[in-house]
Amino acid sequence: MIVITGAGGFIGSNILYHLNQKGLKRIILCDENFKKNNINKREYLKIVKPNKLIDYMETKTKIIDAVIHMGANSSTTEKNLKKIYSQNTRFSKNLWNWCSKNKVRLIYASSAAIYGDGQSGFDDNDPISIFKPLNYYGWTKYFFDRYAINQADKDHSPPQWVGLRFFNVYGPNEYHKGQMQSVVAHSYNQYVNEGKVKLFKSHNKNYKHGYQKRDFIAVSDCVSIILWILENPKISGIFNCGTGEARTFKDLVLAMYTSLKTEPKIKYVNMPENIKKQYQYYTKAEMKKIQKAGYKIKFTKLEEGVRDYITKYLSINSQRRHK
C-alpha cells in the first residue's frame, strides 16, 4: 500500500495516474481540499484528511510500503510564518518520525526555493547551511531538509528516504493553483484572454527583458524520477529534480506560440514591488548526483514538453470552457 499526500494537487495527482497505469491501486490519498477533476477515473482505496493521517496510518502499519509526501502550502508569497511552518515543516517531521518508527519508506517534496537567489549555486551535494531562501516557503523546505539530514546522520530515518528539490514544474492538473501555476499555463491563459503574453521586465543589468532563466521540468519527468526511486529502495538522500538546463522565459513563450502556429506577441511589464527582492533571475539544477546514483532517463526538451501540454491539455480544456 502507498500513501500519497497532496494527492489531489498538481504533482500528487500525476503520481496517482502513473501508479494506476502501472497497475497499482492500493493507494491512500491525503489532501485538505481535493480537486475532483484531478482524481476523476483514478483508482484508490480511501481519502484521508491531513489531520487524521497519522492516526489512520497507525491502523495500517503492517501494510504501508511507502509514503509519497507531496502535500504543502506552496505559496511563495505567504506572510504567515506560523501557518506555513505548521503545514510544511511540522507536518513533514511528523511523517518522518512515523516512517522511521514503522520502517516505512518516505519520498518527500523539497524545493529549489532552498537555493535562494542562486549565488551559492544549485548543487544538491553542497551543505545546506550555505543556502539562504528568499521567502517563508523556501525556509520551511530548508528547515525540513536540515532536519532530515540531521536525523539520518543520527540513524533515525526511514529505511529509504528521498527529498526531491523540484525546480520549475509544468504540466496537466495545475489549473487550481491560481497565481502559482507554471509560466506555461499563465502564458497560454494570457494568450487566450488577451491575445498576447506578458513577461516581467528585468531589473538586473545582467539580464535583458525576457532572458531571465529557469530550469523548467515537465511533471511527467518528475514522476519518472519518483517511480525510479520506488524501484530502487537502497537509494536515499536529497536530489535535485530538474533537467540540468536553464532556458529563458522568452524561449518558453516562443515555444508556446510555435505549438499554436501563431505569430508571437510579447509585452514586457514592470515587476510587482512585493516580489522584486525575492525574484530569482537564474536557476539550473545540478543533476550529477542522481545520474551517478543510476538515473539515466533523458528529460523532455522544453519545446516538446510545452507543445504536448498545450495541444493535449490546455487547448482542449480551453475549447471545453468556451463551448
The residues annotated as belonging to the active site are 137, 177
Q: What are the start-end ranges of the H helices in 60-201?
A: 81-84, 91-102, 136-153, 183-194
Rg (CA), the chain: 19
Contacts of 288 (CB under 8 A, 6+ apart): 125
DSSP letter string over 224-290? HHHHHHHT-TT--EEEEES-S--EEHHHHHHHHHHHHT----EEEEPPPHHHHTT--S------HHH
Cβ atoms of 202 and 282 closer than 8 Å: no
Distance CA(233)–CA(241), nearest Å, equals 18
Pull the grid cell for residue 112.
529549489
Q: How far is CA 238 from CA 133, 145, 261, in A?
A: 17, 8, 40
Q: Which three cell numbers stand for residue 183?
A: 509560466
Q: Cβ of 292: how many Cβ atoms within 10 Å? A: 9
* CA nearest neighbour of 253 among 240, 239, 268, 233: 268
For CA atoms 282, 186, 4, 56, give the dihedral sign.
positive
CB 33 within 8 A of CB 136: no
Cell numbers given for 22: 502501472
